[in-house]
DNA sequence: GTCTATAGTTGGATAGAC
DNA sequence: GTCTATCCAACTATAGAC
């Protein structure tokens, strides 16, 4: 009934797919479920996407793999490195708690990409993007605190992503808020120890 | 054709399910695929298990969530903490590289447990078991090196599992051997710094 | 206890009316 | 461009022969 350009329709469908996947898991994001969620008929989805794989790939590119961007936005203009890191952890932690479903979806997608060749490239690209954003965060937080890192940024950023992912997964499994939050703060203390005033 | 007690048959089917899931992913472990892999007819599986969920739960309990046990076995009788940790990382790293499929399956199961209520309990139990084994490892390695930990064991063990899981996931995604191995060794150095002679 | 046959569902994909 | 109708494949599950 509601005609619209294919490009717009695709956006709408990807949004619907995201809603379904976030709420009920990536396996629930079937062509049928997405069509229903978007309020269009089954044929419309097949008209806008070659096949389910293309829909999933479009979905994958819209799933935010990390919360680094939000954390960067919340950085103070001027603070000690300890205070800045503490704030960053609290921002990250709030984002995790408020978006549990999105976190799960992100892990689901990552794991799906390990077997599904159609998703592998996208997941790898997302991961590379995470690292770029992570390095940006580390650079920025050093700037506002007027410190510099005493170790190479690349490996440091990798460790940060590994730690955040690891605690995220553990928290999703056991739901122990204080353990997760405490663990992240512990890593922040470790990070603070790897800086020197500049 | 080959009659056998239900208990044995169940074991055989779970083994077949493990093979299928490890090779082609948990989603590929359908009742049919398992029956084919085991060389029995479809009905046999339904005869031995209430439904697919019960089969999956039996499978989940057989998936080794961590390699801690192997690492503990490979501990030396006597060594400096740095040497012992380095050896432990190398053992873990070899185990990861040689069992990529099993690692992926472990992550698949963990993620599946986040949505599937039938699997949640089992995944949580496995995770608790991982922590117990992890704490055992930390205790043992301190013993053989004649050191003690300067921080509480519980949170320390949590950080270890988070770091190993995080690096494992990153390595599965991007396949960067040296980055993963280096990152684990970096964490081992961090651990060594949290001990004092006893 | 084990097999074949089949019911009943779900989901991807397409054809054809409008 | 959009919708309905339909096909086909894969899956879980069960009934009933042997």
CATH 1.10.357 assigned to A64-197: yes
Query: In the predicted model, is pLDDT for residue B95 greater than 90?
Result: yes
For residue range A138-176, what is the model confidence (pLDDT) as tens digits? 999 999 999 999 999 999 999 999 999 999 999 999 999
The confidence score (pLDDT) of residue B61 equals: 97
Nucleotide with smallest C1' distance to residue B44 CA: C2
Are the beta carbons of B76 and B90 closer than 8 angstroms? Answer: no
Protein-to-nucleotide distance from the CA of B28 to the C1' of D16, whole angstroms: 29
Average pLDDT on B158-177 reads 98
Query: In the predicted model, is pLDDT for residue A91 greater than 80?
Result: yes
Q: Do A162 and B173 touch (CB under 8 A)?
A: no
User: Residue A5, CB, less than 7 Å from strand D?
Assistant: yes
For residue range B37-84, what is the model confidence (pLDDT) as tens digits? 999 999 999 999 999 999 999 999 999 888 899 999 999 999 999 999
The confidence score (pLDDT) of residue A15 equals: 98
Superfamily, domain A6-61: Homeodomain-like (1.10.10.60)
Across-strand partners of B195? Answer: B149
The confidence score (pLDDT) of residue A84 equals: 98
Sign of CA dihedral B173, B176, B178, B182: negative
Among residues B52, B181, B137, the alpha carbon closest in space to that of A162 is found at B181
Average pLDDT on B98-106 reads 98
DSSP string, B88-148: HHHHHHHHHHHTHHHHHHHHHHHHHHTT-HHHHHHHHHHHHHHHHHHHHHHHHHHHHHTEE
The confidence score (pLDDT) of residue A88 equals: 98
Instruction: Note the pTM of the prediction, 2 decimals.
Output: 0.97
Residues B173, A110: Cα–Cα separation, whole Å? 8
List of chain B residues whose C-beta atoms are within 8 Å of the C-beta of residue A113: 173
List of chain B residues whose C-beta atoms are within 8 Å of the C-beta of residue A164: 166
Are the beta carbons of B163 and A163 closer than 8 angstroms? Answer: yes
List of chain B residues whose C-beta atoms are within 8 Å of the C-beta of residue A123: 173
* B47–A contact, CB cutoff 8 A: no
Q: Do B115 and A169 touch (CB under 8 A)?
A: no
SS3 of A148-195: the string is EECCCHHHHHHHHHHHHHHHHHHHHHHCCHHHHHHHHHHHHHHHHCCE
Average pLDDT on A4-21 reads 97
CATH number of B68-197: 1.10.357
* A165–B contact, CB cutoff 8 A: yes
* A110–B contact, CB cutoff 8 A: yes
List the single residue in A with minimal CA-CA distance to B126: A173
The confidence score (pLDDT) of residue A114 equals: 98
Under the banding of pLDDT at 50, 70 and 90, the label for residue A45 is very high
List the single residue in A with minimal CA-CA distance to B25: A115
List the single residue in A with minimal CA-CA distance to B119: A173
The confidence score (pLDDT) of residue A66 equals: 83
The confidence score (pLDDT) of residue A99 equals: 97
| Residue where the block lists tokens 């020197």 | A196
The confidence score (pLDDT) of residue A105 equals: 98
* A118–B contact, CB cutoff 8 A: no
Q: Which two tokens stand for residue A21?
A: 């996947």
Among residues A22, A19, A23, the alpha carbon closest in space to that of A35 is found at A19
Under the banding of pLDDT at 50, 70 and 90, the label for residue B134 is very high
Query: In the predicted model, is pLDDT for residue B169 greater than 70?
Result: yes
> Which positions on chain D have an atom < 7 Å from some protein CB?
1-6, 10-16
CATH topology of domain B6-62: Arc Repressor Mutant, subunit A (1.10.10)
Average pLDDT on B88-113 reads 98
**pLDDT-wise least confident of A124-138, B56-70, B117-131:** B56-70
Helix (H, G, I), strand (E, B) or coil at A3: coil
Domain ranges of chain A: 6-61, 64-197
Query: In the predicted model, is pLDDT for residue A20 greater than 90?
Result: yes
Average pLDDT on B119-142 reads 98
Query: In the predicted model, is pLDDT for residue B1 greater than 70?
Result: no
The confidence score (pLDDT) of residue B4 equals: 87
The confidence score (pLDDT) of residue A64 equals: 85
Protein-to-nucleotide distance from the CA of A196 to the C1' of C12, whole angstroms: 58
The confidence score (pLDDT) of residue A150 equals: 98
Residues A33, A17: Cα–Cα separation, whole Å? 8
Sign of CA dihedral A177, A182, A183, A184: positive
**pLDDT-wise least confident of A45-49, A148-152, B62-66, B184-188:** B62-66
- Enumerate residues 6+ apart whose C-beta is below 8 A from A132: none
Residues B80, B37: Cα–Cα separation, whole Å? 47
Helix (H, G, I), strand (E, B) or coil at A74: coil
Are the beta carbons of A142 and A195 closer than 8 angstroms? Answer: yes
Average pLDDT on A129-142 reads 98
């Amino acid at each position: 009934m509601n005609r619209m350009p294919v490009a717009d329709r695709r956006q709408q469908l990807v949004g619907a797919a995201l809603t379904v996947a976030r709420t009920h898991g990536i396996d629930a994001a079937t062509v049928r479920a997405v069509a229903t969620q978007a309020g269009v008929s089954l044929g419309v989805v097949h008209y806008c996407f070659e096949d389910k794989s293309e829909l999933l790939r479009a979905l994958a590119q819209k799933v935010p793999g990390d919360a680094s961007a939000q954390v960067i936005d919340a950085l103070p203009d001027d603070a000690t490195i300890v205070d800045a890191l503490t704030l960053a952890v609290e921002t990250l932690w709030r984002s995790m708690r408020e978006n549990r479903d999105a976190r799960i979806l992100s892990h689901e997608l990552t794991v799906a990409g390990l077997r599904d060749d159609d998703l592998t490239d996208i997941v790898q690209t997302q991961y590379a993007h995470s690292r770029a954003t992570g390095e940006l965060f580390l650079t920025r937080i050093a700037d506002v605190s007027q410190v510099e890192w005493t170790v190479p940024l690349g490996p440091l950023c990798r460790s940060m992503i590994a730690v955040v992912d690891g605690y995220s997964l553990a928290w999703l499994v056991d739901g122990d808020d204080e353990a997760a939050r405490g663990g992240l703060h512990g890593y922040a203390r470790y990070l603070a120890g790897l800086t020197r005033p500049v």
